[in-house]
A and B are shown apart, each in its own frame.
Chain A
């Protein structure tokens, strides 16, 4: 058994766990963050996607002990928490707007993948969105409304940036 301390959503989380425990199982069973979902547990479906230093990573293919010293973001780190629970992030809100989900099981992984995409590409084409989420399998939606959601979020984030830029100019 190992003492493992990870930085999850900006906070340190400590726990004792076996070396063989995946990051996915650590997040769910040790950190108690149930928003990261097990789908295939062999790295194909993307349901367990988290961000490691801002990059979308499959938490089922990584051991918890390997994740020390990096910044891990799970779906619980997106949008409001605590007293702000219920406040959606821009991408989450766009998924609600277009109904880019049905059962909600692949959704956290999709949203984190979209977060990773839009953090490096503020104005993606539809093809770039499809490329970004092509490692995340959704059985409900046929991806159409997911693509719509991410493009909508990009547009809104762009408008927000434009507004911020113009504010700066005025100042």
Chain B
């Protein structure tokens, strides 16, 4: 096992961040106060669609403590529209509605006051004269030419309409013995962090500097603010030493940040906006994908799956943002872990009068995995074949890696069959089957869920040039700086905020491993954006690979310098030396200790090799492995690494009540070399919990008037400790050939397969009744109603 190769890596070590969090000493955005700080409260639209005729804020402005009321018209005259991922210049989005509102909850104007409470009081005094307009909520309806466009200037609701054909789809369908079609829908949910989004901006006119603190997880955040506010990018200083209270993709409050930045600059004082829960749910612009899949799959009598046609229609909500790209990432694993020879993919994204979509854990991969895994279950059902055997027959074999999938990506490594075998053994699968049947005999509905899927990781963003030809970005980097000070202590800098991923632990562990010094002794700091090297933030399950990679490479550069200093000092060739525990040993027994090397580097220039710079500092800016080309013929290598997970669970429920009880949950997980076992396990457990929520509970549901019904934690239900069972992780390690230690990503693990697996278990439980649940979440009421309809 690889674990024994390392001194610190893959060993059980306490994450360093945990100490401050268990003491309540994290530094979250709402914990930051600035002198004379003003507070913002936005006014929400009552209508799903309306034309704004006028806003009367005079009564609000007359209230004590109210400083200003900002409207969309004022903002639109002063700032540039927020960035869209696709070329949709007429889908313009500003932080506040301009002329018309496009979803219920959209911000119409914003009150600035001396306290948040006063700002909220003033909201009630604002009179908005608005004329309701026709609106559209359903994505299929939004496609119709008769439907009113959410953005009339854009001319239709279509944001993305791309058809890809990878491989001989028609031939494969022709040759296949069977085909079947079905539709499934992934309901609109999100990650809903317990901390809402917040941002604090402060303008200093003497320095011409806008300081920003935010609970942010977003690539190129400072650049986007600069562009919108028409400020030089070096006049934006984002402070990365803010702890983010959960994100899992969604903390991208660009509209909040531009609004607050504008107000701070206008008024010349610090301004803070912290969403309350209602704002977060309805207008945080942080809903996840809502996606309908129409799938036709071609297969042979022996279970060999030959080809797949997938139409994926995503409901992006009222503005474009990056939502359509969430149809792009799944292209990198469009066949899942299976040998499917060809694929036709039709990706559609439309605007509707719902809350705006943002990146959610997996960036669209979890819905697609749900569709693929449902297809595998349906094929097995059609053929009367065992679901597990069907998967095992179609899985890519260990000897086929690197494996090229039809859409152009190579899967790096894996041993899917071995992982599944381990899980089956750990779970005692025959006993699990027997327990299912025993429960059925006792009158319960019982089912076993099975799902196998991949976690594309490493996070380049080649879906951008793939879906938008004018986007020529192939660079997707991360960086790290390391300094050894004059007393020999090591400090490393990382250039992003963290939201629970343990980046400080990641970097100190990796550097400790490379430098062979105790990670506990390494200090990690997070400077602001102006003091940082370029990076792309923790998205796309990339930081173990990219930040870990950059830290390791920066450490290796330091080690190389130390060896060069030692070689010069001892008068021997570098290859006659070896580095051990921070000291350098010569083959003849002489040794230069760490402190001596530090002394040479920092104080004895006269003893350094000719031309060598003094000091011991290094940095590394690392490009994503394999990310070296733009798409050609609709194909591109997307992610460098592919983690594998296999879910197996047993569920039962009373046929009348329909409340699923998860008896046991096993996951086989292979994310290559693990940096910190507790962090990886924690993310996997948490991903499964989130996936259980997506499968059974969580949905942003709208009524026929376009009003969000689930806008509090009383009706948007998230799994508690009762709904998440004890989970057993079965570990496996297939190192990636592309990364410094063989690590792959794990930040989205669990979530990518749990919804499919839980859905499979519920469907297995009702299979005897001929019921198929075709939409997530599968609520208790849906289960009991469907059973009642079949049995009454």
Does A16 lie at the interface of the complex (its beta carbon under 8 Å from any beta carbon of B)? no
Select B713's contact among A40, A93, A142, beta carbons within 8 Å.
A40
Q: Which of A62-70, A133-141, A161-169 contacts B (4 or more CB under 8 A)?
A: A133-141
Report the minimum CB–CB distance from B538 to chain A (whole Å): 12
Does B220 lie at the interface of the complex (its beta carbon under 8 Å from any beta carbon of A)? no
- A146 vs B721: C-alpha distance when bound (angstroms): 10
Report the minimum CB–CB distance from A121 to chain B (whole Å): 16
Does B679 lie at the interface of the complex (its beta carbon under 8 Å from any beta carbon of A)? yes
Number of interface residues of A (CB under 8 A): 59
Does B683 lie at the interface of the complex (its beta carbon under 8 Å from any beta carbon of A)? yes
CB pair A75 B686 closer than 8 Å: no
Q: Name the residue in A98, A135, A141, A147 with the highest tally of chain B Cβ atoms < 10 Å from its Cβ.
A: A141
CB pair B22 A42 closer than 8 Å: no
The residue in chain A whose Cβ has the minimal distance to the Cβ of B192 is A139
Q: Name the residue in B20, B23, B26, B245 with the highest tally of chain A Cβ atoms < 10 Å from its Cβ.
A: B23
CB pair A142 B688 closer than 8 Å: yes
Report the minimum CB–CB distance from A74 to chain B (whole Å): 7
Does B193 lie at the interface of the complex (its beta carbon under 8 Å from any beta carbon of A)? yes
Q: Which of B434-442, B496-504, B593-601 contacts A (4 or more CB under 8 A)?
A: B496-504
CB pair B682 A75 closer than 8 Å: no
Q: Name the residue in A35, A42, A103 with the highest tally of chain B Cβ atoms < 10 Å from its Cβ.
A: A103
- A98 vs B20: C-alpha distance when bound (angstroms): 15
CB pair A97 B14 closer than 8 Å: yes
Report the minimum CB–CB distance from A81 to chain B (whole Å): 9
The residue in chain A whose Cβ has the minimal distance to the Cβ of B243 is A104
The residue in chain A whose Cβ has the minimal distance to the Cβ of B681 is A145
Does A106 lie at the interface of the complex (its beta carbon under 8 Å from any beta carbon of B)? yes
CB pair B501 A105 closer than 8 Å: no
Known: A39-B195, A41-B276, A142-B689. Is A101-B22 also a contact (CB below 8 A)?
A: yes
- A86 vs B15: C-alpha distance when bound (angstroms): 15
- A100 vs B205: C-alpha distance when bound (angstroms): 44
Chain B contacts for A147, CB-based, 8 A: 721, 726
> Restricting to B499-515, which residues have a CB under 8 Å from any CB of A?
499-502
Chain B contacts for A107, CB-based, 8 A: 21-22, 24
CB pair A103 B193 closer than 8 Å: yes
Select B685's contact among A85, A105, A144, beta carbons within 8 Å.
A144
The residue in chain A whose Cβ has the minimal distance to the Cβ of B690 is A139
Chain B contacts for A18, CB-based, 8 A: 117
Does B71 lie at the interface of the complex (its beta carbon under 8 Å from any beta carbon of A)? no
- A103 vs B26: C-alpha distance when bound (angstroms): 9
Chain B contacts for A111, CB-based, 8 A: 22
Does B603 lie at the interface of the complex (its beta carbon under 8 Å from any beta carbon of A)? no
Known: A44-B712, A99-B678, A139-B193. Is A35-B718 also a contact (CB below 8 A)?
A: no
CB pair B26 A104 closer than 8 Å: yes
CB pair A137 B682 closer than 8 Å: no
Does B325 lie at the interface of the complex (its beta carbon under 8 Å from any beta carbon of A)? no
The residue in chain A whose Cβ has the minimal distance to the Cβ of B30 is A38
Report the minimum CB–CB distance from A73 to chain B (whole Å): 11
Instruction: Report A's interface with B, CB cutoff 8 A.
Output: 18, 20, 28, 33-42, 44-45, 47, 74-76, 78-79, 85-86, 88, 92-93, 95-99, 101-108, 111, 126, 129-131, 133-147
Sample of 11 further A-B pairs with CB below 8 A, known A37-B195, A134-B720 = A18-B117, A37-B30, A42-B277, A92-B22, A99-B681, A104-B500, A105-B193, A139-B689, A140-B500, A144-B681, A146-B721
Can you list the 10 inter-chain pairs with the closest CB atoms, starting with the nearest?
A35-B24, A104-B21, A105-B245, A103-B500, A102-B500, A75-B24, A142-B689, A142-B685, A44-B713, A99-B678
